[in-house]
Amino acid sequence: MKPLADCKLYAFVDTAYLNGRAPEFVAQQLCDGGADLIQLRAKNSSPAETQRMAEAIAPVLRKANIGLVINDHIDIARAVGADICHLGQEDFFDAGHTHISQLTSANSRLRIGLSTHASAQAERAIAASADYIAIGPIYATGTKPTAKPVTLEYVRWAAAHVKVPWFAIGGINLQTIDAVLEAGAKRICVVSAILNAPDVAKACAEFRKRLG
């Protein structure tokens, strides 16, 4: 995969939006559309089911030289040779971790991304040596219905203060993307606006185009 700093479009194979489609089929469409990173998020699947999906997706992404991210399950990320494991605040700090080195060995190539919902969380994640952070949710989103939007103010703060790669996430679609980019974001995560589109590859390519 390309360096994280060069990744702009972060897409998802989210089981909540597959609508009967095979994960590897959707992954291929995202690759064709120009995604730089693709996360497998399977919140309601068992670890065994998640690993099966990860094993199906991994060769598709490897062939396309696109980074594979596994959400939540660091053991599955290791097992399938994923590039990144993405963790929430509760999965990392609430679990007692304080530094990324507690989850990765010195010779490990696995990188760790962390979700953040406020500037204090971002600073804490950076101090813990997260390889990247997610900033959001920017807008209300069905993906995280109970999460309070952090608004464009957090994007502006991140643009001014965060030096590690960071991705804006939450409610970003073709109507809101320009405001997010104008606020200073250079990298975005898109879930439902791509996965709910009639043509996933075409929708992905449109976001890619808007990112420049």
pLDDT at position 39 is 98
Separation of alpha carbons 37 and 12, rounded Å: 8
Burial 124-160 (b: 16+ CB within 10 A, else e): bbbebebbbbbbbbbbebebbeeeebbebebbebbee
Summarised one tens digit per residue, pLDDT across range 68-105 is 999 999 999 999 999 999 999 989 898 888 998 988 86
Separation of alpha carbons 185 and 152, rounded Å: 10
How many domains, in total, are found in the chain? 1
Q: Is 62 in a helix, a strand, or coil?
A: helix
Residue 146 pLDDT greater than 90, yes or no = no
CATH code of 24's domain: 3.20.20.70
pTM for the whole structure? 0.94
Residues of the domain holding 192: 4-211
Residue 58 region, left (φ>0) first, then alpha (ψ -120 to 50), else beta?
alpha
Higher pLDDT, 143 or 74: 74
